[in-house]
Structure 1
Amino acid sequence: MLSYRHIYHAGNHADILKHLVVSQICRHFVKKDAPFFYLDTHAGIGQYSLSSEQAQKNKEFHSGIARLLTEKNLPEPVDALLDIVREMNTSDDLEYYPGSPKIVDYYVRQKDKLHLCELHPNDYPTLAALFPNKRKANVSKSDGFAAVKAMLPPPQKRGFVLMDPPYEVKKDYQYVVRALEDGYKRFPQGTYAIWYPVLNRLQANDLIRDVKATNIRSVLLLELCIRNTEQERGMAGSGMIIVNPPWTLEKEAKEFLPALSKILAEDDEMSYQATWITPE
């Protein structure tokens, strides 16, 4: 079942939260000279044309990244993400938006290594064409959850794993927790980030509960909801569960989450949180 295409949602509020976290984790990694490894379990196509028929269907980027680009005096982490977006767009028009692989590619050095997984038969060749240099990035048409077992621990000794399945298959909620446990057993010093949608409060809380039940320590939760989470109107928000986050991320999030909630809110019941599922 591979019907999900992220191009329809590129640049929306959920992308902004996810890519802010990805950007800040990468900024932390490159502060040290030692190389690092990046594993993306559901990489998509890497970057998105916002003028495409798919992106134009719902124009979710209009209420997301496009709105942010008109703002001034934003928190520094948000400006860092916007700099990447601006660099991709040579004119004042917003034509392209980066996926997670492109965000990471902005930061990686020659000694760092990317492993990008994508199973969708249409998306995989597009991603592979975007990253033709196999010394830098290995693009694999494979199950990203299985790659967590296969690729860890990395030879680089430092690593970041992003798991952001589409959750169109409900078992993804179970698979992502199982993959986290598998990865952590093999590579406990790694940084892991799980993205999840807030389609309703109960489903999101169940995932958070299951992560807590693993007894893995140092797990930070960041969540942004742009409207009431109990109304059946699609994705009201999203969250990031980060294992072994950069020590500065909690403080940074407490600065950028209030700003994002104010700019991106769709009603007065928007909400955000930055809290520890389990401390160190």
Structure 2
Amino acid sequence: MLSYRHAFHAGNFADVLKHSVLTLVLEHVTKKEKGFTYIDTHSGAGMYQLADEYAQKTGEYKNGINKLFSNSDLPEALVPYIDIINELNKQLGTEQLSLYPGSPGIAKKFSRRQDSTHLFELHPTDVQHLTDFCQRWNKSHIKQLDGYQGLLSLLPPPNRRAVVLMDPPYELKEDYTKAVKTLIKAYRKFATGTYILWYPVVKRELVNQMQNAFTTSEIKNLLQVEFCLTADTNEYGMTGTGLFIINPPWQLNTQLSEIMPYLQSKLGNSSSSFNLVQLIEE
């Protein structure tokens, strides 16, 4: 299925959590001079215009990044992510929020000469946008291929350092199982990489199945963070969002302890909640 377009959801509350964590992970890994490999299994378009018809149709960014964009009371751990958004928009000569980076846009900000990037996207329109976005990005490789298989084909990376983001659309129920199984296979091939798996909270039983698959595997050092706008429900729609992070940077748990209460206060409501747990110890 190729109906999913992230342009409808760019900059929403789920993106805020996902991309703030990705920023902190990339900030950590680039503290060392040695190069690393960045792999994005479901890349999307790379950059999004919030004035276009897709973003305006849903307006999801208005209850996400738009509520944080110009805040002066940010916790320290959230500043690097918001700085990226501010810098991108200031380059347009405006103080308004017009551009929002997808995960490749975040990764590009941290990419150095010694690093390499591999981006997978199946949607024909988005892969063209992605190719255009990466035109002057040396050592970036874009492939219109299945990202699950693409990831496994690249492990272990030659430089023995990797950050992987897996951000499936979950159009198919099977994606919940397939994503976890693929990361378990990836871990067997390369156990020291940092792997970030995004998921939506639509049906709690599906998240529980993912947790169980991870905890019964050989994976070690797994952090889970979740932010729910409303309580779980049997009705249709996403009530929350979360991340499973394998081999998180040592300080990420502490940084998320700062970020999550702030996100709850700025993006949430009286029904909102968050959870941060070391699901599997090192």
| TM-score interval, smaller chain | over 0.9
1:275 aligns with 2:277: yes
Query: Alignment partner for residue 218 of structure 1, among 211, 217, 221?
Result: 221
Which letter does structure 2 place at the counterpart of 1:263? K
Query: Alignment partner for residue 97 of structure 1, among 97, 100, 105?
Result: 100
Given that 1:148 and 1:182 are in contact with CA atoms closer than 8 Å, whether structure 2 keeps it comes out as no
Aligned pairs (5 A) from 1:254-269: 254-265=257-268, 267-269=269-271
Distance of 1:64 and 1:119 partners within structure 2: 26
TM score, norm. by length of structure 1: 0.97
Which letter does structure 2 place at the counterpart of 1:33? E
Which letter does structure 2 place at the counterpart of 1:22? L
Aligned pairs (5 A) from 1:21-32: 21-32=21-32
Query: Alignment partner for residue 202 of structure 1, among 177, 202, 205?
Result: 205
Which letter does structure 2 place at the counterpart of 1:44? G
- Secondary structure (helix, strand or coil) at the match of 2:4 reads coil
User: 1:186 Cα shift?
Assistant: 1.0
Distance of 2:74 and 2:80 partners within structure 1: 10
Distance of 1:171 and 1:200 partners within structure 2: 13
1:53-80 deviation digits (Å, cap 9, x = unpaired): 0100011000000001242211112111
Q: Size of the alignment, in residue pairs?
A: 279
Which letter does structure 1 place at the counterpart of 2:148? F
Which letter does structure 1 place at the counterpart of 2:169? P
1:146 aligns with 2:149: yes
In structure 1, the partner of 2:79 is 79
- Unaligned runs of 5+ residues in structure 2 are none
1:167 aligns with 2:176: no
1:115-153 deviation digits (Å, cap 9, x = unpaired): 000000111111011112474200111110001210111
In structure 2, the partner of 1:242 is 245
1:38-63 deviation digits (Å, cap 9, x = unpaired): 00000000111100001000110000
Percent identity over the alignment? Answer: 41
In structure 1, the partner of 2:159 is 156
Distance of 2:278 and 2:9 partners within structure 1: 28
In structure 1, the partner of 2:117 is 114
TM score, norm. by length of structure 2: 0.96
Which letter does structure 2 place at the counterpart of 1:271? S
Given that 1:227 and 1:236 are in contact with CA atoms closer than 8 Å, whether structure 2 keeps it comes out as yes
1:5-31 deviation digits (Å, cap 9, x = unpaired): 000010000000000110000000011
Instruction: Answer with 229-238 or 254-263: which moved more.
Output: 229-238
Give me the CA root mean square deviation.
1.2
- Unaligned runs of 5+ residues in structure 1 are none
